[in-house]
C-alpha cells in the first residue's frame, strides 16, 4: 500500500495523486544520487516522505530483501529546527562559471530557495482538503530565492536612498557568508555534502542585517557597464537595448571583465599572462574614520600581492 517513487522530472504531488487514485495509502519519494540531500516539502494528497540519497539505499536494501512482505510506516515527528549542515547548495542549484558573461564570477551569492513557505494563489495540492483554503504552499527554485535577494536590495535601498544598483549589489555580495559554522567550515553541496566551491556558492549565503552596513562598496557607473558590454563585442544597438537608452561605444572606454569594478575578481592565467595586475576602487560608506586590513586566502598555485595591505579612511564617501 506504500508506493516508492523516484523524485523529480515532474511534480511529486502528481505522482502521489496517481498512486492515491490507484489505492495507495502512502508514498516514499526517493532521491537519485544526483539529487543528494535536497528533499522537498509538498502538499501531498496522501502521507508521503521524501528520502535523501544515502538513506534511500537502506530503504531499497530492506525492500528488496523483504519482498513481498516489506513493511513500512510514515510518522510525522514534528518540525525539526537546527538541522545541519545548513545552509547548503541545493542539488538543483545552477552552477558557474557562466559562459555567456565574459569573465564575471557567477553565481554572486546564495539565497534561500528550497521549501519556501509562502502565500499561494490557488488551492493547494491535487486533491485539496476543504479546510485548506487558498493560503500557503511550499515551492523551490530561483523564483523563491530571487524575492529574498530583492527584499534585501529593497532593505539596503531604504536605508541608503542614494546608493546605486552596483553599490547595493556590492553590499549584498561582500557581506555574504561562505561558511556555516563558527569554526569557518565552508558551505557544502547537497549533492555530495562536500565543499561546494566558489562556482556553486559565489560569496556565500546572503545576510540582510550585514548588507545594510557593508563598510565599503565597489561602485560602477553606467558608462562602466556600457564599456564592458562594448568590450564583449555588442554593437551600439544591442548595448542601447540592454541598458534601455541610447549608447555609443565610441564614447566610452572598453572595459574587460577584470577591469569592471565588481566585488569579485576573475582572471585568466595563461603561459603569456602568468602575472596580472587588477585594480579595484572602494568607497567608505561606514563611519568617517575606518581602518581596514587585508586578509588573503590564495587559490592553490596562485600568489596574490596587494599594493597596500591597510586602508585608512578619514571621511565618509572617501575612495
Ligand atoms: C524526532 O524528534 C526528536 C525530537 O526533536 C529528535 O530527537 C529525533 O531525532 C527525531 N527522530 C527522527 C527519526 O528524526
Ligand atoms: C577568460 O577566457 C575566456 C575564454 O576566452 C573568456 O570568455 C573570459 O571572458 C576570460 N575571463 C576574463 C576574466 O578575462
Ligand atoms: C558566518 O556564519 C557563521 C555560522 O553562523 C558565523 O559563525 C560567522 O561569524 C559568520 N561570518 C560572518 C562574516 O558573518
Ligand atoms: C572595443 O571592443 C570591441 C569588441 O571587442 C572592438 O571591436 C573595438 O574595437 C574596441 N574599441 C576600442 C576603442 O578598443
Ligand atoms: C591600475 O591603476 C593605475 C593607477 O590609476 C594605472 O596606472 C594602471 O594602468 C591600472 N592598471 C590596470 C591593469 O588597469
Summarised one tens digit per residue, pLDDT across range 297-313 is: 999 999 999 999 999 99
Phi-psi category of residue 116: left, alpha or beta, with phi > 0 → left and psi -120 to 50 → alpha: beta
Q: Is the CB of 307 under 6 A from ligand 5?
A: no
**Domain map of the chain by residue range?**
1-77, 221-260
CA distance 148 to 116: 10
Residue 122: per-residue pLDDT: 76
Low-confidence spans in the chain with pLDDT less than 70: 125-134
CA distance 65 to 84: 31
Give this prediction's pTM.
Answer: 0.92
CA distance 266 to 262: 10
CA distance 39 to 225: 39
DSSP strand pairing (48-51 vs 116-119) = unpaired
Residue 157: per-residue pLDDT: 97
Which ligand is in closest contact with the Cα of 235? 4
Residue 101: per-residue pLDDT: 76
CA 260 to chain centre: 22
Q: Is the CB of 115 under 6 A from ligand 4?
A: no
Q: Is the CB of 272 under 6 A from ligand 1?
A: no
Cα dihedral 288/214/169/89 (nearest 10): 170
How far away, in angstroms, is 49 Cα from ligand 1 center?
15
Summarised one tens digit per residue, pLDDT across range 197-208 is: 999 999 999 999
Contact between 55 and 130 under an 8 Å Cβ cutoff? The reply is no
Residue 45: per-residue pLDDT: 87
Cα dihedral 34/40/44/46 (nearest 10): 70
Cell digits of residue 307: 599594493
Name the one residue in this structure whose C-alpha cell is 544515502.
Answer: 54
Backbone angles phi, psi at 49, to 5 degrees: -140, 130
Contact between 173 and 75 under an 8 Å Cβ cutoff? The reply is no
Which sign does the torsion angle of CA 210, 213, 215, 220 carry?
positive
Amino acid at each position: 500500500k506504500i508506493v516508492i517513487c523516484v523524485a523529480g522530472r515532474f511534480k511529486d504531488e502528481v505522482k502521489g495523486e496517481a498512486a492515491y487514485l490507484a489505492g495507495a495509502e502512502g508514498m516514499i519519494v526517493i532521491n537519485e544520487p544526483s539529487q543528494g540531500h535536497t528533499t522537498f516539502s509538498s502538499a501531498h494528497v496522501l502521507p508521503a516522505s521524501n528520502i535523501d540519497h544515502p538513506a534511500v539505499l537502506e530503504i531499497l536494501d530492506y525492500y528488496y530483501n523483504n519482498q513481498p512482505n516489506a513493511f513500512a510506516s510514515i510518522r510525522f515527528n514534528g518540525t525539526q529546527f537546527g538541522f545541519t549542515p545548513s545552509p547548503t547548495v541545493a542539488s538543483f542549484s545552477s552552477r558557474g562559471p557562466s559562459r555567456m558573461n565574459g569573465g564575471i564570477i557567477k553565481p554572486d551569492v546564495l539565497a534561500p530557495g528550497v521549501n519556501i513557505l509562502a502565500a499561494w494563489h490557488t488551492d493547494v495540492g491535487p486533491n485539496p482538503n476543504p479546510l485548506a483554503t487558498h493560503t500557503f504552499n511550499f515551492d523551490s527554485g530561483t523564483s523563491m530565492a530571487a524575492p529574498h535577494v530583492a527584499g534585501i536590495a529593497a532593505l539596503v535601498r531604504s536605508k541608503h536612498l542614494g546608493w546605486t544598483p552596483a553599490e547595493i549589489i556590492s553590499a549584498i555580495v561582500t557581506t555574504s557568508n561562505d561558511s556555516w559554522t563558527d569554526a569557518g567550515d565552508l558551505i557544502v553541496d547537497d549533492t555530495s555534502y562536500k565543499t561546494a566551491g566558489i562556482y556553486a556558492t559565489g560569496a556565500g549565503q546572503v545576510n540582510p542585517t550585514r548588507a545594510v552596513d557593508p563598510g565599503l562598496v565597489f561602485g560602477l557607473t553606467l558608462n562602466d557597464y556600457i564599456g564592458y558590454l562594448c568590450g564583449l563585442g555588442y554593437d551600439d544597438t544591442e548595448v542601447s537595448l540592454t541598458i534601455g537608452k541610447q549608447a555609443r561605444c565610441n564614447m566610452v572606454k572598453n572595459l574587460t571583465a577584470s577591469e569592471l569594478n565588481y566585488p569579485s575578481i576573475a582572471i585568466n592565467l595563461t603561459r603569456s599572462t602568468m602575472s596580472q595586475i587588477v585594480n579595484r576602487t572602494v568607497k567608505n560608506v561606514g563611519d568617517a574614520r575606518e581602518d581596514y586590513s587585508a586578509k588573503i586566502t590564495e587559490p592553490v598555485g596562485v600568489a596574490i600581492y596587494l599594493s597596500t595591505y591597510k586602508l585608512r579612511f578619514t571621511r565618509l564617501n572617501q575612495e
